[in-house]
Structure 1
Amino acid sequence: MNTREYIASGTLELYVFGKLSEEENRNVQEMANEFPEVKQEIESIEQAVINLSYSVAPNLSLDNFNTIREQLLEREATVVTMKPKSAWTQYLGWAASIVLLLGAGFLYFEMNQRDILLKDSKKENQSLQKSVVTLEEKNKATETVLNLIQDDKNTVVALAGQTVVPEAKAKVYWNKENQAVYVDAAGLPEPPKGMVYQVWALKLNPLTPTSIGLLEQTGIVGNSKIYKVDNAAEAEAFGITLEPAGGSASPTLEQLYTLGKV
């Protein structure tokens, strides 16, 4: 077999792709050492594969190709009998498939990274939006408290501590025009578990208490300890007692914490 027939046999393509046995590899290397045209053909095949690889995956360098080829040569190869005319075309297609697979994997990795960055950006945006909403709510609550304190129409009733807790204190803001009542309970100690503060509007003669609400978390204005309770049409005094959770029909006078006249 002359060199032209040897080149056309497809053996050199098999050699480049690591599909020959060790003995066959040695034969090809001997032919390449003896015949320059055989060596040149091997280099042409390798360069064609590298060019194809680079067009799909630019990061596949000559060093990477040689590393892959060496790993392939370490494996046991099964000799594939091919027709001389179709060998180069089939192995070029095989090489293109591998390169396309590598390129697809690279693109998938890039898209996955972009997807992760996009999700992180959305989370940061949602967190920022929540912070803005929270800040707006705090500003609104602060504005409500300031308006309450500065409103000249509000009568401020100071509630002093009574026998059960002398140091307790509170304030009632009562607007006689719209009858709205707010209670500043910052001066009251935290109620025991299972107990709640109850606010009373009082008529003094005869003593007639009317419950106008409980100081619970649902009635708080912002994060302050100012509570909106029920309106009071008439009142000569306000008092706060400590009652069981849910409140009482009438005040427990032994647990009268604060009291103040209008």
Structure 2
Amino acid sequence: MNIEEYIASGILENYILGNCSSQEQQEVECMSHIYPEIREELTNLEVSMENFFMEQQVAPPVDLWDAIAQEIDDEPMMAQTSASINENEADSAVIPQKKPTRIAPVISLISAVAAVFLGILYLNTTKKINTISDELSTLSAQNASMNDSLSRTVAALEFKSSLLTFVTDPASKSIYLKGIPGKYPEGNVLVAWNPTDNKVILNKGNLPQNPPDKQYQLWAIVDGTPVDLGVFDMGDQETLLEMKPVSGAAAFAITLEERGGKPTPNLEELYVLGEVG
């Protein structure tokens, strides 16, 4: 399993955000126990998200609780009502009344304020989570693209290294194809051919740029008969090309043919030719 590709897939971010299926959740938990790299990456992501949410949390207004406390202190603890029982009586009685209170409205106010605060916090947190999720998806895509580019580069370097090893192999023959007088006398192309494994490597040399509707075609002359070894363009970035294998070659030649190549060469478009020494 490729651990780097698994981490770059974005499944760890979805696991932390709760966006993955139960099967994916079990998979992440299992993989994190098997591979220390996945467990470490998962821990780093959790810490990063926790730090981000702590930095983005919204504090309630500083005067909110002072205002609520003041509202409670302003309420009378008890109201008294005096009534005259008898104007002729010497004494009068004060009858305590039921204690009025506004605690319930205050509690409702606190609940409403808390609900609004939690709503704002929820919307803000959801927005931040969506932003983080989008950023993580972008980073995952960029990481996957970089890994793909790196893989292609490594493959190209390995191919060039194998070509260099082949060209320098004592069993390989180097055939220099020279320009045809009257057509392209300054032509200079190198073909490396190994008669043991029949492998053919072409160094395109200094051939002129081919038209869009045509391609160069490499030929091997075997028992006096041209054998097709493939087509190529001078506009390609690659200088060294691995062509079709051949055995018993006595010479190599290059002609300019219609795009895709021909079964037999057009000798009027013969550019370079070289015999196997």
TM category (shorter chain) comes to 0.5 to 0.7
1:196 aligned onto 2:215: yes
Q: Which residue does 2:246 correspond to in 1?
A: 232
| Per-residue CA distance 1:110-145 (angstroms, 9 max, x = gap) | 323432442343234223312421331232122122
1:139 aligned onto 2:139: no
Contact 2:163–2:201, Cα closer than 8 Å, also in 1? no
Query: Relative to total residues, which structure has the larger helix share, 1 or 2?
Result: 1
Contact 1:164–1:256, Cα closer than 8 Å, also in 2? yes
Percent identity of the aligned residues?
Answer: 24
Select the residue among 104, 114, 125 that pairs with 1:107: 125
Select the residue among 163, 169, 173 that pairs with 1:151: 169
Q: Which residue does 1:128 correspond to in 2?
A: 146
Where 1:250 maps in the other structure, the secondary structure is coil
Q: Which residue does 1:180 correspond to in 2?
A: 199
Tell me the distance in 1 between the aligned counterparts of 2:107 and 2:61: 21
Select the residue among 213, 223, 228 that pairs with 2:230: 213
1:93 aligned onto 2:107: no
1:159: Cα distance to partner?
Answer: 0.2
Give, as a single letter, the amino acid of the residue that structure 2 aligns with 1:247.
G
1:196: Cα distance to partner?
Answer: 1.2
1:165 aligned onto 2:179: no
| Per-residue CA distance 1:212-237 (angstroms, 9 max, x = gap) | 222259xx8xx522222222221211
Tell me the distance in 2 between the aligned counterparts of 1:109 and 1:88: 31
Q: Which residue does 1:39 correspond to in 2?
A: none
Q: Which residue does 1:61 correspond to in 2?
A: 62
Tell me the distance in 2 between the aligned counterparts of 1:124 and 1:240: 43
Where 1:160 maps in the other structure, the secondary structure is strand
Contact 1:160–1:169, Cα closer than 8 Å, also in 2? yes
Q: Which residue does 2:92 correspond to in 1?
A: none
1:183: Cα distance to partner?
Answer: 1.6
Tell me the distance in 2 between the aligned counterparts of 1:112 and 1:215: 49
Contact 1:199–1:238, Cα closer than 8 Å, also in 2? yes
Select the residue among 248, 256, 262 that pairs with 2:262: 248
1:168: Cα distance to partner?
Answer: 1.6
1:146: Cα distance to partner?
Answer: 1.2
- Structure 1 segments unaligned to the other structure (5+ residues): 1-55, 67-82
Where 1:105 maps in the other structure, the secondary structure is helix
Where 1:86 maps in the other structure, the secondary structure is helix
Tell me the distance in 2 between the aligned counterparts of 1:143 and 1:249: 32
Alignment CA distance shift 1:85-1:183 (3 Å): closer
1:84: Cα distance to partner?
Answer: 4.8
- Structure 2 segments unaligned to the other structure (5+ residues): 1-56, 68-100
Where 2:254 maps in the other structure, the secondary structure is strand
CA RMSD of aligned residues (A): 2.8
Tell me the distance in 1 between the aligned counterparts of 2:210 and 2:248: 28
Contact 2:60–2:117, Cα closer than 8 Å, also in 1? no
Q: Which residue does 1:35 correspond to in 2?
A: none
Would you say how many aligned residue pairs link Structure 1 and Structure 2? 184
1:155: Cα distance to partner?
Answer: 0.7
Tell me the distance in 2 between the aligned counterparts of 1:251 and 1:118: 56
- TM-score with structure 1 length normalisation? 0.61
Alignment CA distance shift 1:118-1:60 (3 Å): farther
| Per-residue CA distance 1:184-227 (angstroms, 9 max, x = gap) | 113212211211111221257xx43222222259xx8xx52222
Alignment CA distance shift 1:61-1:215 (3 Å): same
- TM-score with structure 2 length normalisation? 0.58
Tell me the distance in 2 between the aligned counterparts of 1:114 and 1:245: 50
